[in-house]
Amino acid sequence: MSPISRGFRGRGRVEADPARVPPGQYVTRDFPVLSAGPTPHTRLDAWSFTIRGAVDDPVSWSWEQFQALPKETVTVDIHCVTKWSKLDTVWTGVSLDTLLDGVESSAGYVMAFSDGGYTTNLPLEDLEGGKAWVAYEFDGEPLDPEHGGPARLLVPHLYFWKSAKWVRGLELREEDEPGFWEGYGYHNYGDPWKEQRYAGD
Partner 1 sequence: MERAAVRGRLTWQVGTVTELARETARTRSIALDLPEWAGHRAGQHVDVRLTADDGYQAQRSYSIASAPEDSHLVLTVERLDDGEVSPYLVDELGPGDPLELRGPIGGYFVWEQSLGGPLLLIGGGSGVVPLRAMLRHHRAVGSAVPFRLLYSARSLEDVIYRDELMRMAAHDEVDIRFTLTREQPDDWHGYGRRIDQALLGEVAWPPEERPLVYICGPTGFVETAAEALVALGHDAGRIRTERFGPT
Considering only 129, 130, 142, 185, the residue that binds partner 1 (CB under 8 A) is: 185
Decide if 86 contacts 27 (C-beta within 8 A).
yes
Report d(CA 188, CA 175) in Å as an integer.
13
Site for partner 1 in 116-155 (CB under 8 A): 116-118, 146
Q: How far is the CB of 78 from partner 1 (least distance, A)?
A: 13
Q: How far is the CB of 153 from partner 1 (least distance, A)?
A: 17
Q: Which is nearer to partner 1, 79 or 133 (CB)?
A: 79
Should residue 26 be labelled a site residue for partner 1 when binding is judged by CB under 8 A? Answer: yes
Report d(CA 64, CA 44) in Å as an integer.
9
Q: Which is nearer to partner 1, 2 or 104 (CB)?
A: 2
Q: Where are the alpha helices (DSSP H) in 21-62?
A: none
Decide if 192 contacts 25 (C-beta within 8 A).
yes
Considering only 68, 183, 193, 194, the residue that binds partner 1 (CB under 8 A) is: 183
Q: How far is the CB of 81 from partner 1 (least distance, A)?
A: 9
Should residue 17 be labelled a site residue for partner 1 when binding is judged by CB under 8 A? Answer: no
Report d(CA 3, CA 137) in Å as an integer.
44
Q: How far is the CB of 140 from partner 1 (least distance, A)?
A: 22
Decide if 153 contacts 91 (C-beta within 8 A).
no
Closest listed residue to residue 23, CA positions, set 168, 200, 198, 191 = 191
- In order, the DSSP letters of 165-191 are TTEEEEEEESS----TTGGGTB-SS--
Q: How far is the CB of 118 from partner 1 (least distance, A)?
A: 7
Should residue 200 be labelled a site residue for partner 1 when binding is judged by CB under 8 A? Answer: yes
Should residue 7 be labelled a site residue for partner 1 when binding is judged by CB under 8 A? Answer: yes
Should residue 175 be labelled a site residue for partner 1 when binding is judged by CB under 8 A? Answer: no
* Residue 162 φ/ψ, nearest 5 degrees: -75, -20
Should residue 43 be labelled a site residue for partner 1 when binding is judged by CB under 8 A? Answer: no
Should residue 5 be labelled a site residue for partner 1 when binding is judged by CB under 8 A? Answer: yes
Site for partner 1 in 74-113 (CB under 8 A): 82-84
